[in-house]
Amino acid sequence: MSERLAALIALIGFAALVLWALVTGGKLGGDEPGHIAFQIATGSTDGVYFPVGQAMAGLISHPPGVGRCDTATICGPAGVILSARTSQGSADNLRSVNSGTVDSGFADGDLIAAAVARRRAAHLRVIAALFTEGLHLVVAAKSSIQSVDDLRGKRVYLGPADAGGRGRAVLNAFAVEGVRVIAPDGTAPEQMLQAGKIDAYFAMVGVPFETIRTLTAKHLARLVPIDGEGRDRLVAQIPQLAPARIAAGTYPGIGAVETVGTHAYWVTRDSEPDAVIYGVTRALFNPANRPTLEASHPSAHDIVLSMAAVNPPAPLHRGAARYYREAGVLH
Q: Which of 243, 262, 281 is the last residue of a domain?
A: 262
- Pair (161, 126) in one structural domain: no
Q: Residue 66's pLDDT is what?
A: 87
Query: Taking a C-beta distance cutoff of 8 angstroms, is the pair 100, 300 a contact?
Result: no
Same domain as 322, residue 208: no
- Within this chain, do residues 75 and 152 fall inside the same structural domain, yes or no? no
* Same domain, yes or no: 119 and 177: no
Residue 185: pLDDT band (50, 70, 90) is confident
Q: What are phi and psi of 6, to 5 degrees?
A: -65, -40
Q: What is the pLDDT of residue 225?
A: 98
Q: Which of 220, 239, 262 is the last residue in one of the domains?
A: 262
- Residue 286 has a CB neighbour count (10 Å cut-off) of 17
Asked if residue 22 has pLDDT above 60, the reply is: no
Q: For residue 329, is pLDDT > 70?
A: yes
Quick check: 23 pLDDT over 50?
no
Are 154 and 247 in the same domain?
yes
pLDDT band at 165, cuts 50/70/90?
confident
Q: Write the CATH number for 90.
A: 3.40.190.10
Interatomic CA distance for residues 52 and 64, integer angstroms = 23
Closest CA to 132 of 297, 318, 327, 317: 297
Same domain, yes or no: 100 and 171: no
State whether 160 and 245 are in the same domain.
Answer: yes
Burial of 21 per CB tally in 10 Å (0-12, 13-18, 19+): middle
* Domain final position from 244, 262, 280: 262
> What is the per-residue pLDDT for 34?
65
Residue 289 and residue 304 in one domain: yes
Domain span holding position 54: 3-132+264-327
Query: Alpha-carbon distance 34 to 219, whole Å?
Result: 53
Residues 319 and 209 in one domain: no
Q: Are residues 114 and 13 in the same domain?
A: yes
Asked if 113 and 239 touch (Cβ cutoff 8 Å), the reply is yes
Instruction: Write out pLDDT tens, residues 78-120.
Output: 999 999 999 999 999 999 999 999 999 999 999 999 999 999 9
pLDDT of 71 reads: 84
**pLDDT score for 144:** 97
252 shares its domain with 281: no
Domain count, the chain: 2
Output the average pLDDT for the chain.
Answer: 90
Tell me what percent of the residues of the chain surpass a pLDDT of 90: 83
Q: Tell me how many degrees the CA angle 188-245-147 measures, rounded to the nearest 5.
A: 65
**Could you read off the pLDDT of 34-68 as tens digits, one per residue?**
689 999 999 999 899 999 999 999 999 999 888 89
Q: Percent of the chain, pLDDT > 70?
A: 89
Higher pLDDT, 161 or 269: 269
Among 169, 231, 208, which residue's Cα sits nearest to residue 299? 208
pLDDT at 242 over 90: yes
Do 203 and 297 lie in one domain? The reply is: no
CA distance 251 to 209: 9
Q: Is the dihedral of CA 47, 132, 311, 174 positive or negative?
A: negative
Q: Would you state the pLDDT for residue 145?
A: 98
